[in-house]
Amino acid sequence: MDYNSSTMGEVKKDQAERLRLIMQEKKANPEMVRQPRVITISSGKGGVGKTNVAINLAIAFSEIGKKVVVMDADLGLANVNVILGIIPKYNLYHVIKGQKRLNEIIIDTPYGIQIIAGASGFAQLADLDEDARESFVKELKDLVYADIIIIDTGAGVSQNVLTFLKSADDAIIITTPEPTAITDAYGIIKTISSEINAPNVKLVVNRVKSYMEGKRVAERVINIAGQFLNIKVDNLGFVFEDVTVQKSVIKQDPFIKSAPNSKASQSIKHLMSRLANIKYNGAGGFGRFLKNLFGGKSF
C-alpha cells in the first residue's frame, strides 16, 4: 500500500491546517503549548523486540485517544513500515538529504497511528554530524500536534541513539531474559547514566515465560544499575513470549489489532497504562490474571 500518493494530499492539507492552528495558539498562548512526550525504545542487543513494542505500544496509546507518531530512527535497518506492511514513498533519507521536511514525510496508517519511515539500506548515513542531528531533533520536537512521539532507535549506542535518548522524556530499554541481552542492556544503561541530562530510564523485559522470570530479570538489572551506576531504573513491566508476535510479523499486521486479547497484546496494554498513569482493566481471564499480578501498583 502506498499511503503517500493517493490520500496524502488530503492528509497533508489536514496536517498543514492543524499545524497552522497550533502555531496560532502558540502565538496567542505561548505558555500553554506543550511539547509532545518523546519516548525512545532502545536496546543493547539487536532483535529483542524494540520495533514490535514500539508499534504496538503506539497503537495502544492511539486506542485511548492519543495522537502518536512512531519514528523509525534505525537508519541502518529500517523496519517499522515493514512490520505494518506499508511501502512509503518518502523516508528519513529524503529528510537527511534535505529533499523533504520531516513533517512532509509523516505517513498515516490504517492502525490509527502515524509513522516516519526509516532510511533502510543507507547505513553510511547512520551517523549524522552534530549539526544535522540537532536540527533534526528540534524539528522532531516541533511536531507539536502529536501527543506522543515514539522513537525506535535501533540497537546499541551510536551518537545518533544518544542524541535521541537525551531529547527523550522516557527512555525505554528492552531486554529479553537471555544473558547476552541483559549484559548489553546494562551496557546501554551505563552509557545513559554518564549523560548529564539523563532521561527517565524504564526497563521492559520482553519474551518472558512467567511473571517470576520477568520480575527476576528486571530486579537484577535494576539492582545492579542502582548499586554500581547510581541510576534509578524503573520497572515498566514485561511482555510474555507469545507466538502471536511471530505470526503478526509474518502477516505484517500488528498483533494488538489482529489479536487484541493475546498475552502479548495484554502485556503491551499494561505497559501503556503504566506509562499513561491509568488503570487497565484487562479483558477475560488472562487480563484479570495480569491485573491481579500488577494490581494498582506503580513501578
Ligand X SMILES: Nc1ncnc2c1ncn2[C@@H]1O[C@H](COP(=O)(O)OP(=O)(O)OP(=O)(O)O)[C@@H](O)[C@H]1O
Footprint of ligand X (CB under 6 A) = 43, 46-52, 74, 77, 154-155, 206-207, 239, 241-242, 245-246, 249, 264
In this structure, are strands 37-43 and 170-175 parallel, antiparallel, or unpaired? parallel
Task: Look at residue 43 and give the partner it binds from Mg ion, ligand X, none, a contact being a CB closer than 5 to 8 Å depending on partner kind.
Answer: ligand X
Task: Look at residue 119 and give the partner it binds from ligand X, Mg ion, none, a contact being a CB closer than 5 to 8 Å depending on partner kind.
Answer: none
* 24/4 Cα distance (integer angstroms): 27
Binding site for Mg ion (CB under 5 A): 50-51
If the CB atoms of residues 145 and 255 are measured against ligand X, the closer one turns out to be: 255
User: Which long-range contacts (C-beta less than 8 Å, at least 24 apart) are formed by 249-254?
Assistant: 249/52, 249/83, 252/82, 252/83, 252/84, 252/85, 253/85, 254/52, 254/55, 254/56, 254/59, 254/83, 254/84, 254/111
Q: Which three cell numbers stand for residue 120?
A: 533502510
If the CB atoms of residues 88 and 154 are measured against ligand X, the closer one turns out to be: 154
Task: Look at residue 246 and give the partner it binds from ligand X, Mg ion, none, a contact being a CB closer than 5 to 8 Å depending on partner kind.
Answer: ligand X
Tell me how far, at minimum, the Cβ of 60 lies from ligand X, in Å: 14
Chain-centroid distance of CA 179 in Å reads 23
Tell me how far, at minimum, the Cβ of 61 lies from ligand X, in Å: 17
If the CB atoms of residues 51 and 56 are measured against Mg ion, the closer one turns out to be: 51
Tell me how far, at minimum, the Cβ of 83 lies from Mg ion, in Å: 8
Q: Are 181 and 41 in contact (CB under 8 A)?
A: no
In the bound complex, which residue of the shown chain has the CB atom lying closest to Mg ion?
51
